[in-house]
Structure formats: structure tokens, C-alpha cells
Structure 1
Amino acid sequence: MIKKALIFAAGKGTRLKPFTDHHPKALAVVNHVPLLERNIKYLQSFGINEFVINVHHFGEQIIDFLYKKENFGAKIDISDEKDQLLETGGGLIFAKKYLENEENFIIMNADILTDLDIKALIGFHLSHQNIATLAVSDRASSRKLLFNDEMILRGWVNKTTGETKLAEHNHNFKELAFSGIHCINSAIFDKIKRTGKFSIMEEYLDLMFDQHVQGFTHNAKLIDVGRPESVVEAEKYFI
């Protein structure tokens, strides 16, 4: 069973202005409850009670918030990117010391709200012994991941520009959108080639050539709370 999660909470949240002019996106509220609180409690409901939270933009507000809430009874380590915002891949590497002793762990974006069955995702990941398992769904997105019939990652396409990256010829691959939630095996730390600031998706698209990166398809409710209008949408479903 997986007991630890990395929550990405460092982003500047420029789409969520004016709130993020003075606050971190992770503390934006949906029905009076901050996103970060919702996701900590959501993951706790599946038995995950150890967290690494990366911070950058108004990171001290997140640290103060967690202190006041007594970490929600969880063990929480802060990966402080105050010197440079490192994006998802760089953020993962920067937090390595908190994660490398876990055989597997969850990664989740702080601005995602979902009722996805994390237990099912974890079970799928462990049973397939993947280096990474990405939660994906069939929903509108300008960027899609491409999977074969066995749900093995085979490529990526930007639906707006037509840019693609493929591991092989496109044999009617399934086009699915990434949900911002993934299960990772810590062996990935020895596979990642990039350093500094980079997206973890770049690494997945390199790893797909010789590693098992698989998609976990779901139909769960999922809202990316990245814009003021998406807060309004989220409040319809997350009470």
C-alpha cells in the first residue's frame, strides 16, 4: 500500500488572478475550504497520511496555514523552492530526499479536485509494476496523451498546434487527457535525465521508449480549479 504523496503547490497560478496576486493558488477556497485542505483530507481518506508539499509562490502562507491546522494530523515535509520555481519534473527531483525511500508514492496537483478512487489507481499501478501510472480520462483538453490498446503510453499531441511526439507509428491510439494525478515507482529517480526546471511530462515522453508508463482510465468527476470560473463550477460538486 502507498502511504505517501507529493502535492505540487508551488505554482504561481496566474490564471487565478486576482486571488493569486496576494495568495498561493493552493489556498484558493471552494465552498470556504482551501484546495490544499481538501486534497490532504481526500488523500487521507485512502490511508495516505504522509505528505511532501512543494512551495514557492507565497510559500510562507502555506507553511503558516499548515502550522495553524496542526498539519491535519499528518506527517508533512515542505520542499521549499523559494530560490527558483522548478515545475513538476524539477520539483520532483528537488523533493527526492523526502521520497526516495518509498518504493511507490502518489503525486497530485494541489489545484485538482476529484472523486477519483485512489485505491483503484494504486492497485492498478502495483499490479502492473509500472515506473509510472497516469490517471487519464476522455475530456476536453488541448493536449492529449496517446495510448495503445494495453494503455501503454505511446505519444503526445497538441491538438491546437498539431505538434506530436510518438514512440511508434500511430495505430489509432486512444487520445486521453492527463488528470494531474500519478503513481510513481521511486526507480524513476535513476531514470530521469533532466536537471533544473522542467516538466515531468517531458520525462514520461522519453521514458515511454523503454519503460512501462501506463494510463489508468477513469470517469471520475475532475475539475482543474485554475480559473475563477472553475471555482464556481467546483462549488456545484464539492460541498
Structure 2
Amino acid sequence: MPAEAATRGAMILAAGRGERLRPLTDHLPKPLVPVAGRPLIEYHLYALAAAGFDQVVINVAWLADRITTALGDGDRFGLRIHYSVETPGALDTGGGIRHALPLLPDAPFLVINGDVYTDFDFRQLTRPVAEDDLARLVLVPNPAHHPDGDFALVGDRVRQGVSSEPRHTFAGIGVYRPALFEGDRSARFGLGQALQPAIEANRVEGVRFDGRWHDVGRPATLAELGGPPIRAPE
């Protein structure tokens, strides 16, 4: 059987501007928006510590100093936090991950979107990644605001999907090999640009999750979860 590599290291994507939550996010970075009485990003940090991770990279750009001041070195979460600092709006998701690679292990690592709220157990993603795979994605049932989904799941293989295959929504949670981000690309690129050729080459595993998952980057979802009101600009 092919050798496998266990997941090591984790990253939280927290550099976004949070345009849909303006004007709330004009002065408060989206990862620090409170949900059920706690800054959103803290749920991820405590969950990562509970899953056995001890090192976490967080990329920051918009209001970066607010995030670094609020979270510090990670000691109170039982973690060691390293910050990958970007110019606001410069790198997008794929570029942000590639920019952070020097802070991540040269092995499969976990990445979480900072604007999702979930009870997913990250221990499920610490199992080894098959040698030929470049990524493992978590897929969830399609929410009302995204009824067409993103990818099909055939067995444990992620596909772009055809009309006859049910599609699921990418949860913003995945495990990636550093090699996924290699290649001749501009500094700014989306994660989807890196994933597409890997999916076409049948090198992406999928895991379906039917538990609690919400996209908190949307005003309606934030209100549903008891977040602060988003007032119109004066």
C-alpha cells in the first residue's frame, strides 16, 4: 500500500475584509465578531487544541493588530500562534496559504476558514492522507443561500460533478499538501484555482459532514446565531 502522511499543523484564514458584514467590520475584524458571547475565531482555537494541535498559523491583514492583540501568543488556548502578515486585500485564500507555507510543516496541514461556525471534530482530519492525494475536503449539505453546492462526492472522491450527481457545499475546512500550492501563479489566487487541477486528476478526497455548520460571513446567519446587529452606516 502507498505510504501515507499524517496531518501536522493548522492554519486559520483570518485576513478577509468582511465586506458583507459592513459597517460592523469597519472597526472589528470578522474573526473577532462575537457569536454566542465569544469571538468567532476562539471556537476554532479551542477546538484545535482539543484535537491535539499545538501550533496554529493565522494569516492577518485587515485590522491585523486587533487580532494579534486579542489572541496574543495563544498560550491561554493551549496553543502556540504564529501570524502570517499580509497587505490587506492582496493575496486571496490560495495566495495567503502559499505565503504562510514557511510557517507550516512540510507535511499535510489543516486549514479552516475563519468565518465558519461549526461543531466539526478536527480529530477526524488528523488521520493520514494517502500518498497520491493532494487534499482532503470537508463537504456539508447545501445551505439555503447556496443551493447548487460546489462539488460532487463519489465514494470518497471529490468531483466537479455533472447534472446527475448531487452536489455539496465546501465547508471551508480541508487538509492540504504543500505541493498543492506549487506552480507558476501570481501572488494572488483563490484556493479553488489550486484545487481544480487536483480534482481533475482524481487527487482530492472528500468527507461529508452533517453536523452543525454555518457561514457567519452572512448577516442573516450572524443574526440567527445571536451576533451583534449590523447597523446601516450613518
Please tell me the TM-score bracket, short chain as reference: 0.7 to 0.9
Which digits, 9 at most, give the CA deviation of each residue in 1:213-239, with x for residues without a partner? 121111010011113332232349xxx
* 2:35 equivalent among 25, 30, 38: 30
Q: Structure 2: how far apart are the matches of 1:143 and 1:7?
A: 26
- 1:95 — aligned with what? 100
Equivalent of 1:131 in 122, 131, 134: 134
C-alpha distance in 2, partners of 1:177/1:53?
A: 24
Measure the CA separation in 1 of the matches of 2:170 and 2:80: 28
Q: Name 2:108's counterpart in structure 1.
A: 104
Once residues 74 and 159 of structure 2 are traced to their aligned partners in structure 1, the CA distance between those partners, rounded to angstroms, is: 43
- The corresponding residue for 2:225 is 234
SS of corresponding position for 1:95: helix
**Alpha-carbon deviation of 1:155?**
1.3
Q: Secondary structure at the match of 1:119?
A: helix
Counterpart position of 1:223:
214
1:18 is aligned to: 23
* Distance 1:13-1:83 versus aligned 2 partners, 3 A rule: closer
What is the DSSP-based 3-state SS (H/G/I as helix, E as strand, rest coil) of the residue aligned with 2:7? coil
Q: CA 1:211–1:26 in 2, change beyond 3 Å: closer, same or farther? A: same
- Cα deviation for residue 120 of structure 1 reads 2.1
Question: What does the per-residue CA deviation read over 1:23-58, in whole Å, with 9 as the maximum and x for residues that have no partner?
Answer: 110110012210111111111111112111000110
Match of 1:179 among 149, 163, 171: 171
Question: Could you tell me how far 1:70 is from its partner in structure 2?
Answer: 4.3
Match of residue 45 from structure 2 = 40
Paired residues, number? 220
Contact 2:180 2:195 in 1 (8 A): no
Q: Show the counterpart of 1:205.
A: 196
**Which TM-score applies when normalising by structure 2?**
0.84
Partner secondary structure for residue 120 of structure 1: helix
Q: Name structure 2 gaps, 5 residues minimum.
A: 1-5, 228-234
Q: 1:38–1:146: structure 2 CA closer, same or farther, 3 Å change rule?
A: closer
Give the RMSD, CA atoms, in angstroms.
Answer: 2.4
Show structure 1 runs of 5+ residues with no match: 157-169
| 1:82 is aligned to 2:73 | no
Q: Corresponding residue for 2:122?
A: 118
Q: Any conservation in 2 of the 1:16–1:227 contact (CA below 8 Å)?
A: yes
Distance 2:11 2:171 in 1: 15
When residues 131 and 4 of structure 1 are mapped into structure 2, their CA distance, relative to the original with a 3 A threshold, is same
Q: Identity percentage over the alignment?
A: 29
The answer as to whether partners of 2:10 and 2:111 remain within 8 angstroms in 1 is yes
8 Å Cα contact 2:180-2:194 kept in structure 1: no
